[in-house]
Structure 1
Amino acid sequence: MTEVTTEENIAEKARIGAPSIPGLTEEGETLAPAQTAASPLGGDAAKAHSHGGGYGIPDSSRAGRLTSYRLEDFPAVKGTEEEWRFTPLKRLGGLHKDVLDGAAPAVAVEAPEQVRVETVGRDDARIGSAGIPEDRVSANAWAHFAEATVVTIPSGIALDERVLVTLTGAGLAAAAQHVVIVAEKGARGVVVLQHVGAAIVSENVEIVLEDGADLTVVTLQEWTDESVHASSQQVKIGRDAHIKHIVVSLGGSLVRMTPTARFAAPGGQAELFGLYFADAGQHLEQRTYVDHAQPNCVSNVLYKGALQGKDARTVWVGDVLIQKQAEGTDSYEKNQNLILTDGGRADSVPNLEIETGLIEGAGHASATGRFDDEHLFYLMARGIPEDVARRLVVRGFLNEIIQKIGVASIEEHLTEAVERELDAGEN
């Protein structure tokens, strides 16, 4: 693939210190009063549940996006909005408009004994501690979830084993799901969210890192072919804390992941990685957002995708906002897509907004293409058949993400899953 690296303001919607009009969105629409809307818990709970940086700032194009716990504050989705323009709404299973009264995927947790696992009601104080819904689908899930699963790694604990949270769908009635993951002060561990079975589900995942915590969260989407999954995963990063967030999307008819990382104190680090492999007819969409609202924080985003088959479709939109108070920021985002057959389409849109020049660095890159003929020629010249050579190229391309997980059993599982995807493409 030919890669073009952009270090300045040349992305489709990138802005560096661009002027804006208070009270207006990117599309020029007037913001509703719900910019600081109340929580469904009411009164003081709304204020208590507004944490992190970047919420409801009307003079910043990305940070000024409407956020609210209340479904009624979000207008009906038309598909022309910036955040929905790539999503086929007819395939969304009603997650943006229907009552989500189906049974949520069943939750099973395997964890070391030090980890606390709880099932809590909507009034639990930890719910809402990492983020506020940013779109109608997420707000719909907030309006309709009945209970939440809370996984807590206690202060000072360094886990030797991973925590596995398996979410198993058992039907195609639209449902809501809520998961909270907390790494207390100085805690270290790996949490894997494995999504399997058949489901139509809107999911909110909140991830809270207290000061000095070091957490890896891996979210695997291995749904059945007819499944629909929209997942808002919001991360709040404390002082000197580190998050490695890895999204792997393989199964499902339509999967839409929207990971958000917000720095709540200086010195934090965020690594957002993703791997997706779309087959014929699949729509796999990823929208990352990193909000640098604190000084001296570091972020690195790398997403890689492969496509094969007619009408295979992938979308990656990467937003990075460096606010004026975020001096000393070091940020980079990159997306690469490999198209294996005719009939696929990959959209890649990196967006970078910088409101201060006092940073260590910021940049982005995007590349989409077919097999590199030189790589294939090099392998085939050494006696490797073309079909085997193509497999080697794909393995090497995607393995960069797989090896970042750091859990041997999960890495082996995903390597085998990629092999199955390649097998399916040859049949």
Structure 2
Amino acid sequence: MSTTEQSLVTDHSQATADAAHVHGQKYNGTIVPDKSRAERLMSFDPEAFGVPNGREENWRFTPMRTIAPLLSLDGGEGGLVWDVPTLPQGVTFTNVPAGEASLRSVRAPGDRASAVAVARSNGAMSLGIAPGTQVAEPIVIGMSGKGEDVRGHLLFEIGAGAEATVVVTRTGSGNYGEFVSVDVGENAGLNLVLVQQWEADAIHVSEVVAKLGRDARLRGSVVTLGGKVVRLNTSVALAGEGARVDLFGLYFADSGQHQEHQLFVDHVAPHCTSRVTYKGALAGAKAHTVWIGDVLIRAAAEGTDTYELNRNLVLSDGARADSVPNLEIETGEIAGAGHASATGRFDDEQMFYLRSRGISEAQARRLVVRGFFADLIREIGVESVEKGLMVAIDAELEQVASEQRAAGEE
């Protein structure tokens, strides 16, 4: 939908949501999908997928020509610069051979780009946390591109009863295809923060797949501010009874940027909880964001409690936000299920109110956007990252203001 033409606001609540938004039909109060999200192909063989042309459901929003290099089995010989801190006892960061890395991944890739990433990465880097290890301070790992063509395979392996916060920052430039596996053991907790602050010409296509054991907890935060095209797919399987996942996302797209986030929360086991909250801001010509949120509640997942929310704030003409929430339910024995999606323009009345009290237009815009993102930033739980994000968002707003001034001068 083009937000320059109108403002789209939708709000869908509880398991009885309109079937048009879940791609299925209702039968005795339960939504029966036309085709289950879980039926999509998963394979380590890139050729099993073929080369997508953009007409496929999971590729229809993506600029295919731009990401074409990451779909090819050629290339990928470049590298990244890693910045890994001194790790505490019980934490390791090691190289895993290719065959073993595939066996240790929680599942196979779900698209050609991530299958190519595995095939061309020549192994994986694994961050392992031993069972019972309690890591007090955040583990911050930096990845910086040197403008090269790179493929990567990452493993996060959290042992039973372990607790840790891990932050991964992506900076620099390059074409980067990636497959990330996250295995959270029984009664373990992981706060995983992925920050994309690439240079303006970077292309990043990634799939993150996670599996949670019994009573496991995952807090996953995704922050996307840079790059020409960034496409992050996140899939979480709540495979053990009593598991919980909280997924947060913050993105800001400006002129010419494409930022895409697709999510799949798979409620496999009973009595699990999931919460998804993603917010994005857009400004400038051809800024484009895509959010797709799929939730599947399987027949065995009785007692499920799930909710997903997406909000988009359009700051200028020429920007487009696509938001698609989907809910698929195979059992009526649930605690609650719902989703909400809204896309709206910057509020002119709010701007007038602030300007009438002596606040400049630039400062008023900053206050509104800061307020829009504030609660989400607090959820990250890492003070240094939270402070850095406020600075980065201010820089994005200053760039928008500078482009608007230049356009006015012309």
Answer yes or no: same fold by TM over 0.5.
Answer: yes
Contact 1:186 1:213 in 2 (8 A): yes
Of stretches 244-253 and 374-383 in structure 1, the one that deviates more from structure 2 is 374-383
Equivalent position to 1:268, from 243, 263, 287 = 243
Task: Provide the residue aligned with 2:11 in structure 1.
Answer: 5
Higher strand residue share? 2
Task: Provide the residue aligned with 2:267 in structure 1.
Answer: 292
Q: C-alpha separation between the residues in 2 aligned to 1:279 and 1:139?
A: 30
Per the alignment, do residues 382 and 221 of structure 1 end up closer, same or farther by CA in structure 2, a change over 3 Å counting?
same
Per the alignment, do residues 284 and 309 of structure 1 end up closer, same or farther by CA in structure 2, a change over 3 Å counting?
same
Deviation per CA, 1:359-405: give whole Å up to 9, x if none: 00000000001123453344345443333222101011112221111
Instruction: Confirm or deny that 1:306 pairs with 2:312.
Output: no
Note the 1:69-108 alignment, pairs <5 A. Answer: 69-108=44-83
Note the 1:144-223 alignment, pairs <5 A. Answer: 144-173=120-149, 175-223=150-198
Q: Cα distance, 1:125 vs. partner?
A: 5.8
AA aligned to 2:343 is: T
Contact 1:112 1:159 in 2 (8 A): no
Contact 2:234 2:264 in 1 (8 A): yes
SS, match of residue 399 in structure 2: helix
SS, match of residue 208 in structure 1: strand
Deviation per CA, 1:323-344: give whole Å up to 9, x if none: 1110000000010000101100
Q: C-alpha separation between the residues in 1 aligned to 2:9 and 2:52?
A: 34
Contact 1:284 1:315 in 2 (8 A): yes
Note the 1:17-28 alignment, pairs <5 A. Answer: 17=30, 19=32
Q: TM-score, normalised by structure 1?
A: 0.87
Equivalent position to 2:42, from 62, 67, 92 = 67
AA aligned to 1:181 is: F
Per the alignment, do residues 100 and 131 of structure 1 end up closer, same or farther by CA in structure 2, a change over 3 Å counting?
farther
SS, match of residue 110 in structure 1: coil
SS, match of residue 199 in structure 1: strand
Task: Provide the residue aligned with 1:119 in structure 2.
Answer: 95
Q: C-alpha separation between the residues in 1 aligned to 2:256 and 2:274?
A: 33
Q: Number of paired residues? A: 388
Q: Cα distance, 1:128 vs. partner?
A: 3.9
Instruction: Confirm or deny that 1:132 pairs with 2:112.
Output: no
Unpaired runs of 5+ in structure 1? Answer: 21-25, 27-59
Instruction: Confirm or deny that 1:259 pairs with 2:267.
Output: no
Contact 1:255 1:283 in 2 (8 A): yes
Contact 1:111 1:162 in 2 (8 A): no
Contact 1:295 1:325 in 2 (8 A): yes
AA aligned to 2:265 is: V
Q: C-alpha separation between the residues in 2 aligned to 1:419 and 1:347?
A: 24
Q: C-alpha separation between the residues in 1 aligned to 2:83 and 2:99?
A: 22
Per the alignment, do residues 336 and 278 of structure 1 end up closer, same or farther by CA in structure 2, a change over 3 Å counting?
same
Of stretches 312-321 and 122-131 in structure 1, the one that deviates more from structure 2 is 122-131
AA aligned to 1:260 is: S
Note the 1:276-287 alignment, pairs <5 A. Answer: 276-287=251-262
Q: C-alpha separation between the residues in 1 aligned to 2:102 and 2:139?
A: 19
Deviation per CA, 1:298-325: give whole Å up to 9, x if none: 0000100001110000000000001111
Task: Provide the residue aligned with 1:320 in structure 2.
Answer: 295
Q: Cα distance, 1:93 vs. partner?
A: 4.2
Q: C-alpha separation between the residues in 2 aligned to 1:96 and 1:132?
A: 16
Per the alignment, do residues 129 and 172 of structure 1 end up closer, same or farther by CA in structure 2, a change over 3 Å counting?
closer
Task: Provide the residue aligned with 1:41 in structure 2.
Answer: none
Q: Cα distance, 1:172 vs. partner?
A: 3.3
AA aligned to 2:254 is: D
Contact 1:127 1:180 in 2 (8 A): no
Task: Provide the residue aligned with 1:142 in structure 2.
Answer: 118
Identity over aligned pairs, percent: 43
AA aligned to 2:336 is: G
Per the alignment, do residues 329 and 130 of structure 1 end up closer, same or farther by CA in structure 2, a change over 3 Å counting?
same
Per the alignment, do residues 3 and 78 of structure 1 end up closer, same or farther by CA in structure 2, a change over 3 Å counting?
closer
Task: Provide the residue aligned with 2:345 in structure 1.
Answer: 370
Unpaired runs of 5+ in structure 2? Answer: 1-6, 403-410
Q: C-alpha separation between the residues in 1 aligned to 2:325 and 2:105?
A: 28
Q: Cα distance, 1:218 vs. partner?
A: 0.5
Per the alignment, do residues 251 and 127 of structure 1 end up closer, same or farther by CA in structure 2, a change over 3 Å counting?
farther
Q: C-alpha separation between the residues in 2 aligned to 1:302 and 1:208?
A: 22
Contact 2:73 2:120 in 1 (8 A): no
Task: Provide the residue aligned with 1:234 in structure 2.
Answer: 209
Q: Cα distance, 1:101 vs. partner?
A: 2.9
Contact 1:238 1:263 in 2 (8 A): yes
Q: C-alpha separation between the residues in 2 aligned to 1:131 and 1:104?
A: 25
SS, match of residue 39 in structure 2: coil
Instruction: Confirm or deny that 1:341 pairs with 2:341.
Output: no
Contact 2:316 2:346 in 1 (8 A): no
SS, match of residue 348 in structure 1: strand
AA aligned to 1:278 is: A
SS, match of residue 38 in structure 2: coil
Q: Cα distance, 1:9 vs. partner?
A: 3.0
Contact 2:102 2:108 in 1 (8 A): no
Equivalent position to 2:366, from 391, 407, 410 = 391
Q: C-alpha separation between the residues in 1 aligned to 2:314 and 2:294?
A: 23
